[in-house]
Structure 1
Amino acid sequence: MTISARLEHHLSDLGLHYSMIPHPYAATAAEVAEAAHVPGDHLAKSVLIHMEEGPMLAVVPSNQQVDLTALQSLMQKRLGLAPETEMKEVFNDCDLGAAPPVGEAYDVPTIVDDSLSGLDKIWFEGGDHTTLIEMRGRDFDKMMKDAEHGSFCCLH
């Protein structure tokens, strides 16, 4: 049960309280929600977006997907999903597919879907496929206060 060093340092710097929740190995966000017994709409997942200026992190509930058309319209930029190689490069202290939704810890601009704001509790990947971070929704909102916010997800 571990979390990425950069994430741990970032949370410590912000003074936010969190818990590490172990769960059986799960590769996809839907499997994580099921394995950890958490609601999919309260599990934040990271989607790395590729733009000409560099990567950007889009954060949506695990039971949703990024609507690239809506996000492109919101950002007024051409964008697409980042390749795995870029994901490995940006989140080099995390297992592939287990990146935390905290772009600030990785110097990556972040946009958070509005549906993740104002929740009572929220969970997210901590850098491996067997540990979730659990925190109060208001602490997550505080951590994401400098991120952009908008509505850009849809059911998949």
Structure 2
Amino acid sequence: MTIAPTLRNYLSSENIQYDEIPHDPTMTSARTAEACHISGDRLAKGVVLRRDGGYMLAIVPASHHLKLPDLRTRLGEDIEMASETEINRIFADCAPGAVPATGRCYGLDLIVDDSIETQPEVYIEAGDHATLLRLTHAEFTRLTANVPHGRFSVHD
């Protein structure tokens, strides 16, 4: 498996330019950053949240963890982490757990942590556990245009 078809079609339709970075299979974003010799600050991970009967995607650096109380303060108390079953259903054309850090193509609202916005380039999962996509800062900004931003993560 390489780029998930839904993601590939979306990036193509939005004319988003990227480079594919193959790597040895990994099961966590921190291990992926290590395998690719990149800073975890530059690897965007998507965290799927259940909100108001639907779902949304919070995008944070792989070197950070989500501060759910901060998101609840900003977005309301009805926010919980989605289950693996829910995530696998939403990202049906991706390997289990390989969530691309862009949710629009999967019908999800986004919120982006400000700390990922400072990076000169950003890497995202391609929908498998062995491929990253490298985007310039400008392309990542286009991918996340017009979505809420804020500080809701902390460096590990």
Given the two structures, how large is their TM-score scaled by the length of structure 2? 0.96
Distance 1:89 1:146 in 2: 26
Per the TM alignment, residue 141 of structure 1 is displaced from its structure 2 partner at its CA by: 0.6
Residues 102-113 of structure 1 aligned to structure 2 (within 5 Å)? 102-113=102-113
CA RMSD, Structure 1 to Structure 2 (Å): 1.1
For residue 44 of structure 1, what is the aligned residue in structure 2? 44
For residue 80 of structure 2, what is the aligned residue in structure 1? 80
- Displaced runs of 4 or more, over 2 A: none
Per the TM alignment, residue 74 of structure 1 is displaced from its structure 2 partner at its CA by: 1.1
For residue 120 of structure 1, what is the aligned residue in structure 2? 120
Residues 76-155 of structure 1 aligned to structure 2 (within 5 Å)? 76-155=76-155
Distance 1:113 1:57 in 2: 11
Per the TM alignment, residue 119 of structure 1 is displaced from its structure 2 partner at its CA by: 2.1
Contact 1:118 1:141 in 2 (8 A): no
> Secondary structure of 1:56's partner?
strand
2:30 equivalent to 1:30: yes
Given the two structures, how large is their TM-score scaled by the length of structure 1? 0.96
Identity %: 37
Aligned length: 156
Task: Provide structure 2 residue ranges, at least 5 long, that are not aligned to the other structure.
Answer: none
Per the TM alignment, residue 72 of structure 1 is displaced from its structure 2 partner at its CA by: 0.7
Distance 1:89 1:147 in 2: 23
